[in-house]
C-alpha cells in the first residue's frame, strides 16, 4: 500500500513539473534566419512589416525574437543573443493591450536566456571573450529593463482612463438659465433691479419729471 502511494505521489509531482515547464516554454520557435546570420536584419524587417499591415501580431513576433535569443545563447553566441534581445524590445513596444500575455512569456524566456549566459561567463576562453560577453549581457539586461518599464507605464496609463478623470474634477455649480433654481433666479432678478436703479439715475429723473407734469 505504501509503495503504491509513493509511486502515485511521484507521478503527480512529475505531472506538475511537466505542466510548469511547458507553461514557461515558448510556443513559437525562431525565424528562418537566426540572429547569428549577417542577413538577420532582413528577417526582422519582414516581420516588422507584417506587424505594420496587420498580418502578424507583435506579441507573437516578440516570442520569435526571444526564441532566437535562446538559440544564439545555446550556440554560445552572446552578441547574437543581445541582437535578438534588442529587436525583442523594439517589437514589444508595438504590442497592444490584449498581447500582454505574449509579451510576458517572451520577457520571461529572455530573462532565462540572460541567466544562462551569466552562468557561462566564467567559462569564457579568454579575457577578450569574457569582456565581449559582459558587454552583450549588459545590453541584454538594459533591453529587458526597458521592456519592463514600458509595460509598467502601460499599466499605469490603462488605470487612468478618461471616464475616471471626471470623478476627480471639482464640483462646479451649473449657472445655465435652464438649470437655475427659483432662489437663484429671484436673486438674479433682484440684483438686476438694483443695478438698473442705481446705475441709471437719468431714468429715475425722467420718471419724476413726467409725474410733475401730470400734476
Indicate the range of 23-27, 84-88, 168-172, 189-193 predicted with least confidence. Answer: 168-172
Q: What is the pLDDT of residue 2?
A: 45
How many angstroms separate the CA atoms of 141 and 85, rounded? 9
> What integer is the mean pLDDT of 61-89?
95
Query: What pLDDT band is residue 97 in, cutting at 50, 70 and 90?
Result: confident
Query: What pLDDT band is residue 173 in, cutting at 50, 70 and 90?
Result: very low
Q: Which three cell numbers stand for residue 185?
A: 433666479
How many angstroms separate the CA atoms of 132 and 157, rounded? 38
Model-wide pTM > 0.85 = no
Residues 36-68 have pLDDT tens digits of 999 999 999 999 999 999 999 999 999 999 999
Question: Which pairs from 23-27 meet CB under 8 Å and 24+ separation?
Answer: 24/108, 24/109, 24/112, 25/109, 26/63, 26/66, 26/67, 26/70, 26/105, 26/106, 26/109, 27/63, 27/105
Asked if 81 and 69 count as a contact pair (C-beta separation under 8 A), the reply is: yes
Residues 110-134 have pLDDT tens digits of 999 999 999 999 888 899 999 999 9
How many angstroms separate the CA atoms of 74 and 2, rounded? 43
Q: What is the mean pLDDT of the chain?
A: 75
Q: Does the pLDDT of residue 94 top 70, yes or no?
A: yes
More reliable by pLDDT, 210 or 130: 130
Amino acid at each position: 500500500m505504501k509503495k503504491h502511494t509513493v509511486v502515485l505521489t511521484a507521478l503527480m509531482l512529475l505531472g506538475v513539473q511537466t505542466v510548469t515547464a511547458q507553461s514557461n516554454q515558448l510556443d513559437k520557435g525562431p525565424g528562418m534566419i537566426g540572429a547569428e546570420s549577417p542577413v538577420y536584419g532582413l528577417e526582422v524587417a519582414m516581420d516588422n512589416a507584417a506587424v505594420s499591415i496587420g498580418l502578424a501580431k507583435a506579441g507573437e513576433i516578440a516570442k520569435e525574437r526571444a526564441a532566437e535569443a535562446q538559440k544564439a545563447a545555446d550556440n554560445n553566441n552572446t552578441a547574437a543573443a543581445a541582437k535578438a534581445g534588442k529587436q525583442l524590445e523594439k517589437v514589444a513596444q508595438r504590442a497592444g493591450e490584449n498581447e500582454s500575455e505574449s509579451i510576458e512569456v517572451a520577457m520571461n524566456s529572455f530573462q532565462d536566456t540572460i541567466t544562462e549566459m551569466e552562468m557561462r561567463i566564467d567559462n569564457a576562453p579568454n579575457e577578450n571573450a569574457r569582456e565581449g560577453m559582459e558587454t552583450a549581457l549588459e545590453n541584454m539586461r538594459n533591453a529587458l529593463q526597458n521592456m519592463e518599464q514600458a509595460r509598467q507605464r502601460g499599466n499605469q496609463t490603462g488605470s487612468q482612463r478618461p471616464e475616471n478623470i471626471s470623478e476627480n474634477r471639482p464640483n462646479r455649480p451649473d449657472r445655465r438659465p435652464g438649470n437655475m433654481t427659483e432662489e437663484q433666479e429671484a436673486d438674479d432678478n433682484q440684483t438686476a433691479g438694483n443695478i438698473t436703479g442705481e446705475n441709471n439715475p437719468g431714468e429715475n429723473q425722467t420718471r419724476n419729471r413726467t409725474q410733475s407734469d401730470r400734476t
